[in-house]
Amino acid sequence: MSEKRKLKLGANIKGLGNTTDGWRHPDVEPDASINIEFYKRQARILEKGLFSFVFITDGLAISEKSIPHFLNRFEPITLLSAIAASTNHIGLVGTVSTSFSEPFTIARQLMSLDHISGGRAGWNLVTSPQEGAARNHSRGYLPLHSERYEIAKEHLDVVKGLWDSWEDDAFTYQKETGQFFDPKKMHTLGFKGKHFQVQGPLNIARSKQGHPVVFQAGSSERGRGFGAENADAIYTNAHTLEEAQAFYQDMKNRARDHGRTPEELLIFPSIDLIIGDSEEDVERRYQELAALIPIDHAITYLARFFDDYDFHQFDVNAPFPELGDIGANAFQSTTNKIKQAAAARKLTLRQVALETILPHSPFSGTPEHVANEMQKWHEQEAADGFVLRPFMSDTFHQFVEKVVPILQERGLYDTSYKSDTLRGNLNLSVPANRYSQTKEEYVYDSQINQ
């Protein structure tokens, strides 16, 4: 098996997890979402298992209906900086919204994290689908889905341009002559677009990996096009092998259409899993969690994907209601999948709500089963790697101790870190500095960027 086809792994560390009531489980630390020692322990376990990166999600609005983890948690860049100090190899990917942030600030924060970590930073670029986020950022409305991607494209162009402000040998540090830097190798961006006007240059140099790795998670038509053109890696959801294969092939083809090679765009389905000694053990663990979640809480959780639509008006045992375009401006690809699955399988509202908050994963099972499924998806071109989202607090430890050795024995997974940067461990090349290539200033105006 070629080096490029080795399986790559990431993990979503999410404090109290993604359920409304999982925090009630006796093994869960109820303050995990604001417990830095919890995050550092988890990251060190994952680093022992040679994971390529940890992945910190985020949101910009809460209400009394939000799941516990959302109510009280760390900001990603701050958290990842702390994790950087207690790890040596694992990548550090944080979520930041392009709809509600300034490109200069984000470029500086992410490049600072990249330097602090020695080239291990990544950016999960999101467009933020919640109305509450707009109200928290002095906006009267949430931009339409298409406009959010227009903003994202311009935002990312600015950030990447700022990251190239300094050529790699710009800082000379010549004490004898007094030259701290070579002025010819400092570049002003001069960006003038529809949404952003940014002069530059950035007040921090490029890191050893050039740019932080850009992840993107949009699976709508607009999101796929944006990711195929601009991202290094795609974070996605898939419930079946066939669904994952179709997405994988579509994204690789789109990358080719943008003049990229398939290896330049990595696909990472997220997987929820429970690991047990037997199928009965896995089911027992699942039922332990399910018993903690009242159906009312599951329905409230479902509503967040549909902009807090009131599902309580319906009979939970009746067929999932027809919703038309409700949710189309929120989590568009997610709500479309929910609607399609409910119609195809004739699910009730109760079934949809429970499966949304606590899905039955095809990956859950014994260590051998988990390894088999990962191998199948990887070898049948459904994934370049996976991002683990565990239901149970001991899942990372179990995976590292029991599943990783199986993957290594099969030649599917590395036995050591191959690089000291995130790009290196993902087999992604270092982006060339645009100015080093052309020796010309990039000048943007509103015509170019529309």
Judged by average pLDDT, the poorest of 205-219, 238-252, 316-330, 388-402 is 316-330
State whether 181 and 107 are in the same domain: yes
Cα separation, 61 vs 128, whole angstroms: 10
Q: Are residues 265 and 409 in the same domain?
A: yes
Q: Is there a domain that residue 411 lies in?
A: yes
One domain, residues 263 and 321: no
The number of folded domains in the chain is: 2
Residue 115 lies in a domain: yes
Q: Looking at the domain assignment, is residue 444 inside a domain?
A: no
| 63 in a labelled binding site | no
Please indicate, yes or no, if residue 450 is contained in any of the structural domains. no
Whether 273 and 366 map to the same domain: the answer is yes
Read off the pLDDT of each residue in 66-81 and give the average, rounded to a whole number: 96
Judge whether 206 lies within some domain.
yes
82 and 189, same domain (yes or no) = yes
36: pLDDT confidence band, cut at 50, 70 and 90? very high
353 CA to centre of own chain:
23
E-strand spans in 98-134? 121-126
Residues spanned by the domain of 69: 3-280+361-438
* 165 among annotated binding-site residues: no
Domain end position, chosen among 357, 375, 409: 357
Question: Is the pTM value of this prediction over 0.95?
Answer: no
- Residues 104 and 193 occupy one common structural domain: yes
Highest-pLDDT range among 45-49, 134-138, 334-338: 45-49
- Average pLDDT of the chain, as a whole number: 92
Q: What is the pLDDT of residue 2?
A: 43
* Residues 263, 302 share a domain: no
Q: Do 365 and 352 sit in the same domain of this protein?
A: no
Question: pLDDT digit string (tens) for 324-334?
Answer: 777 666 667 77
Q: Which residue is it, tokens 């008006």? A: 313
Q: Are residues 317 and 397 in the same domain?
A: no
pLDDT score, position 91: 98
Number of neighbours of residue 288 by Cβ within 10 angstroms: 16
Whether 447 is covered by a domain: the verdict is: no
How far apart, in whole angstroms, are the C-alpha atoms of residue 283 and residue 36? 31
Q: Which is nearest to 155 in space by CA: 230, 209, 74?
A: 230
One domain, residues 310 and 210: no
Domain containing residue 232: CATH number: 3.20.20.30
Q: Which tens digit of pLDDT belongs to each residue from 262-316?
A: 999 999 999 999 999 999 999 999 999 989 999 999 898 898 888 788 888 988 8
Residue at 220 is within a domain: yes
Closest by CA position to 382, among listed 231, 217, 251, 222: 251
pLDDT-based confidence at residue 322 (cuts at 50, 70, 90): confident
pLDDT (tens digit, 9 = 90+) per residue, 405-442? 999 999 999 999 999 999 999 999 999 999 986 544 33
Is 149 a known ligand-binding residue? yes
The 10s digit of each residue's pLDDT in 129-152 is: 888 999 999 988 899 988 999 999
Q: Give the per-residue pLDDT at 115.
A: 98
The reply, when asked if residue 27 is annotated as ligand binding, is no
* Residue 220 in marked binding region: yes
Find out whether 394 is annotated in a ligand binding site: no
The answer to whether residues 350 and 211 belong to one domain is no
The neighbouring-strand residues paired with 166 are: 186
318 and 405 share a domain? no
